[in-house]
Amino acid sequence: MADNKKVTIRELAKRAGVSEATVSRALNDSPRVKPATKHKIQQLAKTLGYRPNLLARSMRTNQSKTIGVIISNIANPFFTAVVRAIEDEAATLNYRTIVINTDENPGTERQAIEMLQGYMVSRFIIASTRRGVDYHLLLGRTPAIFIDRLPNNNGDYDTLLVNNADGAKQVVNALIAQGATRIGVISSSVSTAGQERLAGYRMALQENRIAVDENIIKCSDVQMRRVRRYTSNLLINQACDGLFTADNEIFLAAMAEITARNLTGLKLGTFDNAPWFDFLALPVTAVQQPTVEMGTRAVQRLVARINGSDKLDEPELIRLSVKLVKRN
Amino acid sequence: MADNKKVTIRELAKRAGVSEATVSRALNDSPRVKPATKHKIQQLAKTLGYRPNLLARSMRTNQSKTIGVIISNIANPFFTAVVRAIEDEAATLNYRTIVINTDENPGTERQAIEMLQGYMVSRFIIASTRRGVDYHLLLGRTPAIFIDRLPNNNGDYDTLLVNNADGAKQVVNALIAQGATRIGVISSSVSTAGQERLAGYRMALQENRIAVDENIIKCSDVQMRRVRRYTSNLLINQACDGLFTADNEIFLAAMAEITARNLTGLKLGTFDNAPWFDFLALPVTAVQQPTVEMGTRAVQRLVARINGSDKLDEPELIRLSVKLVKRN
DNA sequence: ATGAAAGCGCTAACAT
DNA sequence: ATGTTAGCGCTTTCAT
């Protein structure tokens, strides 16, 4: 029965008539304790409802089997998908995860990392906010792996990105194949991913010997209102018959404008596939990001780094490939 | 400069030529230390890059200003919206939050709560998984507030729900006003919310003197395939001209079926409004849940309970009202 | 205004 | 196979 007072190792030791050390060993399933004793103690712990004080344990061992996951926008389906994969893989490898959302705010990001370090969390998976955070200062040699975005101090940490340029190139190529002749683009200046996707757009045009017109390239902060303005500018003033948006947030804003103005006959392409694209009147060709692979590999690599199981002296930059979902 | 070795209070004390106690007081901005000394110590801490060991502090004080947030599905936009509101309000009130996702798994939920308790987290906001978790045993008198779903041991904890029945009634009334004469419903048996929404559906029909036909009422686990089967059954075999889905997941699956079969002329209603409903050919009338209010009030109430600032002896069940977004 | 000392619960040498 | 002991970094009486 659960007594009111909290059960500690000392308490168990007293009741079992053994030392605290033996209890600790029994609870940690050490081979250095007699099976009978071990069993007895474990039983007792269960009956008394013993809960280890993880604080004390971490403090003593100077580590907590916990991975800090720092993401920049919890409302973005891309990130939640990655987070779920991270959680799954971490659980498999017997790690805990703590997720903190920074809302693209570098200050919050710094605080979050410092806070977790205060809790002895010493492995991180980070989707960096804007450039401007000095991870050297913050992390030192703490194992960390960056996802989705190239961090400020790249080259010093493992980084896991998708092949943004290639994905963008594929989408734009598909739009061209569908007959689009003048394709506008709206990208994000917030992350490195946005710039790479823009580069991919240019590559596709060049491959198809289409002149790049800087007037139909828009790249800035993702702000609903601004994206809507860009959209009408591109599709009406600039007479584009195709539009490539660099992520799901931009796509949403652009679609709002397209719907409001009742524009039709367009070829749309975007990063971040979503199930509801199937329901739209306009066909959307979309890049499906490998969220599960990204989350899974991030955890695996982090854990490998810790155990030093494979010799990974040099931090690596890994590119995952993307999949194209065509609709027309 | 950031030395390699970690800076502790002892280190600061040595360097400042004062006792550890004084350093601790200075760092905590206690009035019991001379302003000059305080300032000097705080400066030193900054220069040396001192980071408090939160583990040690929590262990000593037996509390951590951290709220554990247990949600059942991080991929559900409803929950992520609530989480963001929780984070915002918590930050304002100077609390930390730790979010853990249980994926509707009661085992994971139990583990998560125990784990956090091990870290001295002693206030929780919980979106319960299926009934079957005994919160008395798990939480005891630990302050906790339940959101979205009525927990097993209701009456013992504060609970914050939306007015599910009323929301459902409003949607169904709207569908009837739009001319639907035979409205099927698909709800979820996973949570208490699903049952309440079903009750609201029945109320609306009764108010409008429409006979309730049990053949067009479907309620079960939310499984993509099953929902799709229900959908075609209702809309084709049962010849419904309207459909009410009880949450965003069900709606997504139903829309997949509707799109695949190219069904038209339907009146659709659902819980959980989404921006992209504006882009659909079929008009969707949707209940907008008060996610911000729910998150904000959950935190406020939890903190009030802790401080005992207002006398809230009895746990309360609070219902938040919803908003209807009509489209036709 | 400051210091000395105890102790939170746990684990890991180092005994026995 | 088990016990003794020290100590992680911090806060907090109780002295001075």
- Strand ranges, E, within chain A: 66-71, 96-101, 124-126, 144-147, 158-162, 183-188, 217-220, 242-245, 267-271, 284-288, 317-320, 323-325
* B21, closest nucleotide (Cα–C1'): C3
Contact call for B99 and A100, based on CB within 8 A = yes
- Nucleic acid strand D within 7 Å of A118 CB: no
Residue of B nearest to A259 (CA): B279
Percentage of residues of chain B with pLDDT beyond 90: 75
- Strand ranges, E, within chain B: 66-71, 96-101, 124-126, 144-147, 158-162, 183-188, 217-220, 242-245, 267-271, 284-288, 317-320, 323-325
Same fold, A4-52 and A164-288: no
Listed as own residue / partner, the contacts of B320-323 with beta carbons closer than 8 Å and 24 or more positions apart are B320/B160, B320/B161, B320/B162, B320/B163, B320/B290, B320/B293, B320/B294, B321/B162, B321/B163, B321/B166, B321/B290, B322/B162, B322/B163, B322/B166, B322/B167, B322/B170, B322/B287, B322/B288, B322/B289, B322/B290, B323/B287, B323/B288, B323/B290
Contact call for A54 and B118, based on CB within 8 A = yes
Question: Residue B293 pLDDT > 90, yes or no?
Answer: yes
- Segment B122-138 shows an average pLDDT of 85
CA distance A224 to chain B (A): 12
Tens digit of each residue's pLDDT (9 = 90 or more) over B170-212:
999 999 999 999 999 999 998 899 999 999 999 999 999 999 9
Q: Which of A190, A199, A192, A91 lies closest to A146 in space, CA to CA?
A: A192
- Nucleic acid strand D within 7 Å of B20 CB: yes
Place of tokens 């609070």: B318
- Strand ranges, E, within B48-178: 66-71, 96-101, 124-126, 144-147, 158-162
Across the A:B interface, residue pairs with CB atoms under 8 Å apart total: 108
- Nucleic acid strand D within 7 Å of B18 CB: no
The pair phi, psi for residue B77, each rounded to 5°, is -55, -30
- Nucleic acid strand D within 7 Å of B10 CB: yes
Contact call for A51 and B118, based on CB within 8 A = yes
pLDDT of residue A3: 44
Chain A residues in contact with B51 (beta carbon < 8 A): 114, 117-118
Pick the CATH number of B4-52 from 1.10.1370.40, 1.10.4080.10, 1.20.1250.20, 1.10.260.40: 1.10.260.40
**Residues 24-83 of A near strand D (Cβ < 7 Å)?**
25, 31-34, 37-38, 56, 59-60
Stretches in chain A below the pLDDT threshold 50: 1-3
Q: d(Cα A324, Cα A76) in Å, to the nearest integer?
A: 20
Q: What pairs with residue A38 in β-bridges?
A: none
CA distance B206 to chain A (A): 33
Pick the CATH number of B61-162+292-320 from 3.30.365.10, 3.40.50.2300, 3.40.50.920, 3.30.70.3270: 3.40.50.2300
Q: d(Cα A210, Cα A207) in Å, to the nearest integer?
A: 8
Q: Which of A80, A114, A117 sits opposite B80 (nearest CB)?
A: A80
Query: What mean pLDDT is reported for chain B?
Result: 92
Helix, strand, coil share of chain B (percent; to 5): 45, 15, 35
Question: Residue B3 pLDDT > 70, yes or no?
Answer: no
Contact call for B59 and A53, based on CB within 8 A = yes
Distance A323 CA to C9 C1' (A): 51
- The domain locations on chain A are 4-52, 61-162+292-320, 164-288
* A59, closest nucleotide (Cα–C1'): D8
Report the CATH superfamily, name and number, of domain A164-288: Response regulator (3.40.50.2300)
* A24, closest nucleotide (Cα–C1'): C11
Q: Using alpha carbons only, what angle is made at residue B32 by residues B29 and B35, rounded to the nearest 5 degrees?
A: 65
Tens digit of each residue's pLDDT (9 = 90 or more) over B90-126:
999 989 898 999 988 898 899 899 889 988 898 999 9
Contact call for B140 and A279, based on CB within 8 A = no
